[in-house]
Each structure stands twice: as structure tokens, then as C-alpha cells.
Amino acid sequence: MLLQTFFCFVFIQCVLAAGKRGIGAPWDSVSSDLDKIPAGQQVSWIYNWETFVPPGGRQFEYVAMLRTAHQDDINRFYQNMPNNRVRTLLCLNEPDHLEQANLSPEQAADVWRRHCWPQKVQRGIRLGAPAITNGPQGIPWLQRFLDITRDVPPDFVTTHWYGVDGNDLIRHVQRVRDVSQKPVWLTEFAHVRDNIYDQRGLMQQVRKWMDSQWWLERYCWFGCSRGDQNNINPASRLLDKNGEMTDLAFKYVWDP
């Protein structure tokens, strides 16, 4: 028991030392934009909702994702996974959302067993459960998924949050932790108002809380792209239209 506690403590310290913050870079990101973002501060990892390594941002650890159960995503998954050398795989993006993966817990569990779990068995990759939304259907969806995958459990659970109140974010992430009793990744979050002051306020309000929770392993602001189509709104962007870091990005990268 003491040895297990020691290794848990060491793992947590390594996560904290490396920085929990991530960069969500859409599949069509410009490599030079991602190369400008400094590593070694608070930001340590990057993902692109895909299984192929993005063209830039090699200074960060890459985390792969099987985004949906569509056949083209499955085909890319088997094409890219043997070569991307990832240590962590996220499996399915917002299956509780009609416009995203849109799967029942039973359907998602089938995808998990057939495609994601074998990566853990064969390569020892850590697996993140499907990323739920903070809508009313999200946590019940996750509870059902965890119930029917007890024999093939995820290493951590994953969630998203969009709203106007940082206290609501904290309550949501804490509830995800409570119902799962697993480490948590918050892989998308932002304020929904198109106002830079609201975005800064949210980031400042929740940042230290997230960094202080040992079980909240990683989090990722949304989003990091030039185009509005990849963001909840322009004010939340970490890049401007020319690919330069915004003031919000500097706060995300540098502020403790």
C-alpha cells in the first residue's frame, strides 16, 4: 500500500511539474502558428481531435483521439496509430451530443472494446473515456458507459464545459470526479460570451483551482486557431487572424 501511494505521488508530481495545460489545435492548423507557442512553461501537451500528429507543435507531447465511429475516422485510426507513438488515446468526442459523435453508451462501449481497448492491451497506452458535454445528459451518459465497461475500464474520464460561471465549471468537474472516482481531463472549456473580459475572468477564476486538484490531470482551453469556425466565439481564441498569440494566449501560457 505504501509503495502504491508513493508511485501515485510521484506520478502526480510529474504531471504538475510538466504543466497540466494543453493546446487544442484543429486538424487544419498552420504549423508555424503552433511552433510559436512556447513549451516548458504551463503548457505541456497538444491534441487535434485526430490520430495524426499535427504539422507543428512538436515541442509538446501529442495526445491522439478517435473522434467518432464514422468509418473514415476508423480508417484513419488504423492508418495512423502504428506510427504516432502516442502514450495516451482519447476515445470519442461528445457522444452525448447530436452534432458530434452521437452514440449511445452501448454503442460507444462497442467502439471502445473493438478499437480503443486493444491499444491499451497491445501497447500499454493510457485510455481516456469518451468526452461528455456539461449538458444535462452528459453525466448520466458517462455513468452508464462506466457501468457497462467495468471489465475494460478507462484510466481517466474526460469532459467539456461551456458556460458563463466559473463556479459552475468547478461544480461540474467535481461531479464528474465524484461519479467516476477516476482522474479527470477537461479537454475543452471556454466562456460562451463573445467578450474578452469574460474570457479572461473565467480563465483567472478557475486556473488555480484546476492546478491545485491532484486528480484533475490535464485541461485544455478552447481553442487555438485562426478561424472562427473552430472556436466557440472569436473572443476565446488563443490565436489572432494572422496566427499570432493573443493576449489570452499569453496569460494561458505564462500565468501561474
Run of H or E including 61: strand 61-62
pLDDT at 195: 94
The 8-class DSSP code of residue 24 comes to E
Burial of 241 (0-12, 13-18, 19+ CB in 10 A): exposed
Task: Tell me which of 14-18, 43-47, 82-86, 222-226 is least confident.
Answer: 14-18
Any domain includes 140:
yes
51, 65 Cβ separation under 8 angstroms: yes
Model confidence pLDDT, tens digit, residues 162-195: 999 999 999 999 999 999 999 999 999 999 999 9
Distance CA 207, CA 154 (A): 25
User: Which band of pLDDT confidence, cut at 50, 70 and 90, is reported for residue 41?
Assistant: confident
| Number of domains comprising the chain | 1
Domain that holds residue 162: 41-254
CATH code: domain of residue 65: 3.20.20.80
Q: What is the DSSP string of 123-175?
A: H--EEEEEEE-SSTTHHHHHHHHHHHTTTS--SEEEEEEEES-HHHHHHHHHH
3-state SS, residue 21 = strand
Residue with cell 486538424: 27
Any domain includes 17:
no
Q: Is the pLDDT of residue 209 over 60?
A: yes
Q: What is the pTM of this model?
A: 0.92
